[in-house]
Structure 1
């Protein structure tokens, strides 16, 4: 029996052997493999999505770093599949936990910061003061830019976590409230819940794209 609405996000297995976290490995199942000479429709759709993301990310990165696009495309596909897996019934949503999202964003941000300050220190110092900043505001702007750089991984992870939590809570709340409703209102509630489900699918796609594109922009600033 669910005593709390947030219990749907709690791991229900043992702390030492939490099988729910293995859901993150199920992303590999949805990657298409070549078993036949002719590609299937799922492979064609997957390749079209990859090509579209490559063209989109190519506009935001320098040509000498274009080989790094595969990191951000893989990050987007992994978050997308984990978001969509959480919409299946009796499934564990790993991207609704701040620990998972923060581990992704903090790892990327730390690598970008370490690379930027070690290889492009002058460029990183220039970014601390925006162009045409008055002299008396320079010290204040340096503090603001430093704080904004520090909170970047937190804003990335909190944005993804909050969007996943909000959508799943709405769906679970609507589903649990349908048991006590009058039968004439049930068709309307089913339509509303289906619309919420479609909205949650679109939010899952948008949030995976936003997470990866912001990571790419942070990578550009360090270079």
Structure 2
């Protein structure tokens, strides 16, 4: 019996070690199929998805000289998507529902963008602090607002992904715990509701990984 509802997200195991974090690397098990001589349908579908993402990120980045600049964002999308889907399987630790992992992904990206922008495009970064057409009286306030909104970007990226993953998993857990005390008719309705919620969570897993990577791409495009 769970003493705490959030114990489903507890990284500790029976050995009192955080071995559950190894599930982050479970996506590597799907990599060998990429090296087959004849690609599978899953491989062809994934190559199509990465091609679409590459074209979309390339338009946002507006960089023609730096080839392969979209690879980091495609890799970020792949990592978050694989972890989001793996967390839907029973007895697999939900890594993307923790701020530790999400901040580890968002914070280094944001810091690297800021360091690159302020060193190479200082005037461009200063111009971003005051939107075009701002009255002179409001300029000091706009600088403060833009600075705060810029600083909280990695936090909003991480919290958005964490909150969306936690909300769906908690709802599935709450409904699942009420199953033993239900009648047969209500149990059938509960199973249908759980299946529909699972489909919704699959959609959320794709959408949140896409949102995380597309926002990271937009933040990087602002420093160029």
1:156 aligns with 2:151: no
Q: CA RMSD in A?
A: 1.5
Give the match's secondary structure for 1:222: coil
Could you say which residue in structure 1 is the equivalent of 2:13? 13
TM-score in terms of structure 1 length: 0.96
Deviations 1:77-126 (A, max 9, x none): 00000000000001101100011101110010000000100111000000
Give the match's secondary structure for 1:133: coil
CA distance in 2, matches of 1:113, 1:15: 41
Change (3 A) 1:143 1:36: closer
CA distance in 2, matches of 1:21, 1:38: 33
Kindly state the Cα deviation for residue 33 of structure 1 after the two structures are TM-superposed: 3.2
Could you say which residue in structure 2 is the equivalent of 1:81? 82
Conserved 8 A contact 1:72-1:212: yes
Change (3 A) 1:40 1:2: same
CA distance in 2, matches of 1:217, 1:49: 19
Could you say which residue in structure 2 is the equivalent of 1:46? 46
Could you say which residue in structure 2 is the equivalent of 1:55? 55
Conserved 8 A contact 1:32-1:43: no
Q: Which moved more, 1:69-78 or 1:45-54?
A: 45-54
Q: Which runs of 5 or more residues in structure 1 are unaligned?
A: none
1:119 aligns with 2:120: yes
Kindly state the Cα deviation for residue 37 of structure 1 after the two structures are TM-superposed: 2.5
Kindly state the Cα deviation for residue 189 of structure 1 after the two structures are TM-superposed: 1.1
Could you say which residue in structure 1 is the equivalent of 2:210? 209
Q: Which moved more, 1:56-65 or 1:127-136?
A: 56-65
CA distance in 2, matches of 1:65, 1:122: 22
Kindly state the Cα deviation for residue 31 of structure 1 after the two structures are TM-superposed: 2.8
Could you say which residue in structure 1 is the equivalent of 2:93? 92
What number of residue pairs does the alignment pair up? 223
Change (3 A) 1:97 1:34: closer
Change (3 A) 1:133 1:112: same
1:109 aligns with 2:116: no
Change (3 A) 1:16 1:50: same
Kindly state the Cα deviation for residue 18 of structure 1 after the two structures are TM-superposed: 2.0
Give the match's secondary structure for 1:139: helix
Deviations 1:38-95 (A, max 9, x none): 2111211111111111122122112234421000000000000000000000110110
Give the match's secondary structure for 1:109: helix
CA distance in 2, matches of 1:36, 1:164: 33
Give the match's secondary structure for 1:185: helix
